[in-house]
Structure 1
Amino acid sequence: MIYTVTFNPSLDYIVDVTDFKTGVVNRTTGEKIFAGGKGINVSMVLKNLGMSNTSLGFTAGFTGNEIKRLLAKKGVDTDFIEVEDGISRINVKLRSNEESEINGQGPAITEDNIKKLYEKLDCLKESDVLVLAGSIPDVMPSSMYMDIMKHLEGRGINIVVDATRNLLTNVLPYKPFLIKPNNHELGEIFGVEITDKDDVIKYAKKLQEQGARNVLVSMAGDGAVLVTEDGQEFKANAPKGKLKNSVGAGDSMVAGFVYGYLKSNDYKQAFIYGVCTGSASAFSEELATKPEVEALIDKWDSASN
C-alpha cells in the first residue's frame, strides 16, 4: 500500500486577471480551485495512473472539509486528522502580467494531533511505501521528517522524501528509499551551482554516501537524472511539449517513479515513468492523466536519453 503525508494541505485558488493593478478593483477572467499540497499531488497522480493510495495529514475547518470533498471526487482515499484550532490554508495564485502568490498559514497542529499521526503510521506494514513531501508548518518540529523515519526505522517501509535543505539532509542517515531534489536544491546542499548532468551525478552520489538509496534529480526543461542503489546511472532529456503549468510537475515525477517501480521492479522503467509523468503534468493545466503519460512514453526515444 502507498501512503502520502501532507502536513499543510491547502485549497489552491488560481485566478487569471488581465493587466492586474493594485489599489483598484480587478475582475478575474478565469478561476480554478484545487486541493493542494505536495503529498496530495502525489496521491492524485497515483490515482490518475490507476494506483490506489491513502493521503494522510492534517485538515481543519470548512476549507479542510472542501479539500476532502475534492479528493473524494477524484477517487483519492484520505485519512486526515482533524485539527480543532484554525482552518486549512488557502493559497492564492494570481496570473497576470506576472505571477504572484499569497500562501495561508494553516491550522494550529498540536502534540496530540502529531501523536495521532504516529498512531496511523504505526499501521504501515513491511514493503509499504510512505511519501513525505513538502514543507513543515512553523507550529511543528523542524525535525519532523527525521523523527518519522527514526520512528519507523527497521520496519522495511520504503520511504520517499521530497523536501529541501535540512528537511532532506537530516533524513539521510535513516536510508530513505528515494529522495528527489531538483538541481538547484542539490546545489544549495553543497554550496555549488549545478547545471550539468554529470555534476548532478557527482553530487547525487555524495547524497548516497550519506545514506540515500536512490537519488532522482529533476532539472525542469533540462530533463532528469537518476542514480540507483545498485550502481546504475540514468540521464534523460525532457520530452518535448508546451509548458502550461509547472506546479505539481516535481510531485508528478515522484508519483510516476513510484508507480513505475511498483509495476516493474525496474529502476529504468521507474525513471521513464517519472520523467514522462512529470512532463505530462507540466504540459497540462491540471495534473497528469494516464493517457497523457502513456502518450509521452510511446514517444520515448531511448537513443536521445
Structure 2
Amino acid sequence: MKQVLTLTLSPTIDKSTTVDKIMAEHKLDCDLPKFEPGGGGINVSRALKRLGQSSIAIFPSGGLTGEMLEDLLHEEHIVQHAIRTKNLTRENFIVVNRATNEQFRFGMPAPELLQKEEAEILKVVKDLSSKCSYIVASGSLPMGMSTDFLAKVARIAHKADARLIVDTSGDALKQAVDEGVYLLKPNQSELRKLTGIDVEDNESVEEAAHQIIGKGKCKIIVVSMGPQGAQIVTDEFSEQITAPSVRKRSTVGAGDSMVAGMVYGLMQGYDLQHTVRMGIACGSAATMNPGTELFKKDDVERLYDWLVKGMKK
C-alpha cells in the first residue's frame, strides 16, 4: 500500500506556556513550558498519526534544536527523514493569558537553507515519491529559498504519478499552481492574490476557484473560511460546508489538522463531500485544545458524525 509523504520547509519547535496576566514592564511567572514539534507538514503527519494513518515526514534539521525536533517526533512515532542543515532549526513561542484566554503567538523567521540543502531535500522527495500516493507540501518557505521550489516538487509528483496537495502562500504557491497540483487549500486572501478576484462571498469564491480549475491547473480547491467552514469547488460541483460551533481555545495547527483530515479521507476512499467534512471536523477539533495540542480523535469522530448527519437533512 502506498504512503503519504509530508514536506515541511520551515519546521519549528513550538514552545507554549500560560501566565495569569500579561502586563508590560512586569516579570511574568510562566507555567512549565510544553515543547512540541511544529511546522505545516510536520503537523499534518502528527495529525494523520492520531487518525491511524502513517506518513513519512521530510524536513530540514539543524543543530541542537533540530535534534530536539527529531526526538519529539520519535516520541510520537512519526516516520521521518531529516536533512541536516548548517543553520539551527527555529523555535516559536506561544503564551496564553489566563485572565482573558487571549493567545499571543511569536513566530521566529525560518533560517536560510543553503542551495546544496535545497537540492538534497528535492533528492529525498524524488527518491521517496514513487512510494507515495499523496505528497503534502504545507507551511511557509524559508528566507532566500527559490520560489520555484514547490514547482519542482510538482514536477516530481507528476512523474511519480503522486497527487500533490499544497497549503502555502505567496509566489511559491503561484508557481506551484502554474505547474499543476491536485488539491489546493487556500484561504480567501490567498485565493484573491492568485486570481485577482475580490472573494467576499460564496459566488465570488466559486468564480475564483473555477478560474484556476478551468486552466487545468488543479482538480480540487478547498477554500478555508475560518469559523464559516470551507467551500469545496471542482469542475463538477461546489458546496459550502459550515463548521460546527465549538469552544475555541487555540487556533494553532487547525489548518494543518484540516489538511490531515482531508488526506485521511482521500486515503480511505471517501468521496469529496465526506473528505472535506473530515477535514473540517479535524480543524474544528484542533481549536478545542490549548496551545499546540492539535486534536483528540474522539472529538473528531463526534464532529464528523454531526457534519455527516447534516448532509441528510
TM-score (normalizing by structure 2): 0.89
| Residue type of the alignment partner of 2:96 | R
Aligned-residue CA RMSD in angstroms? 2.1
Deviation string 1:157-192 (CA, Å, 9 cap, x unpaired) is 100000113222211232211000012322343445
Give the Å deviation of 1:127.
5.7
Aligned counterpart in structure 1 of residue 5 of structure 2, from 3, 6, 17: 3
Is 1:74 aligned to 2:76, yes or no? yes
Aligned counterpart in structure 2 of residue 136 of structure 1, from 138, 141, 144: 141
Give the Å deviation of 1:135.
0.8
How is 1:84-163 mapped onto 2 (pairs within 5 angstroms)?
85-96=86-97, 99-123=103-127, 124-125=129-130, 128-163=133-168
Deviation string 1:45-79 (CA, Å, 9 cap, x unpaired) is 01100001010010111111111111111111110
| Counterpart contact for 2:111–2:143, Cα < 8 Å | no
Counterpart CA distance in 2 for 1:232 and 1:271 is: 13
Counterpart CA distance in 2 for 1:122 and 1:80 is: 15
Counterpart CA distance in 2 for 1:189 and 1:205 is: 12
Judged with a 3 Å threshold, the aligned counterparts in structure 2 of structure 1 residues 126 and 12 are, in CA distance, closer, same or farther, namely: closer
Judged with a 3 Å threshold, the aligned counterparts in structure 2 of structure 1 residues 223 and 103 are, in CA distance, closer, same or farther, namely: closer
| Residue type of the alignment partner of 2:220 | N
* Identity fraction in percent: 26
Residue 206 of structure 1 aligns with which residue?
A: 211
How is 1:164-179 mapped onto 2 (pairs within 5 angstroms)?
164-179=169-184
Give the Å deviation of 1:265.
4.5
Stretch moving more, 243-252 or 288-297:
288-297
Give the Å deviation of 1:273.
0.8
| Counterpart contact for 2:184–2:218, Cα < 8 Å | yes
Give the Å deviation of 1:233.
1.9
Counterpart CA distance in 2 for 1:239 and 1:193 is: 26
How is 1:1-305 mapped onto 2 (pairs within 5 angstroms)?
1-29=3-31, 31-83=33-85, 85-96=86-97, 99-123=103-127, 124-125=129-130, 128-210=133-215, 211-229=217-235, 231-285=236-290, 286-300=293-307, 301-303=309-311
| Counterpart contact for 1:87–1:106, Cα < 8 Å | no
TM-score (normalizing by structure 1): 0.92
Counterpart CA distance in 2 for 1:247 and 1:304 is: 31
Deviation string 1:79-110 (CA, Å, 9 cap, x unpaired) is 01011x23110111233365443333344422
| Counterpart contact for 1:55–1:78, Cα < 8 Å | yes
Structure 1 runs of 4+ aligned residues shifted over 6 Å read none
| Residue type of the alignment partner of 1:269 | H
| Residue type of the alignment partner of 2:305 | D
Judged with a 3 Å threshold, the aligned counterparts in structure 2 of structure 1 residues 20 and 199 are, in CA distance, closer, same or farther, namely: same
| Counterpart contact for 1:89–1:103, Cα < 8 Å | no
| Counterpart contact for 2:103–2:250, Cα < 8 Å | no
Counterpart CA distance in 1 for 2:221 and 2:110 is: 31
- Equivalent position SS for 1:261: helix
Give the Å deviation of 1:143.
2.0
Counterpart CA distance in 1 for 2:218 and 2:54 is: 26
Counterpart CA distance in 1 for 2:177 and 2:10 is: 23
- Equivalent position SS for 2:52: coil
Counterpart CA distance in 2 for 1:51 and 1:127 is: 13
Give the Å deviation of 1:193.
4.4
**Runs of 5+ consecutive residues of structure 2 not aligned to the other structure:** none
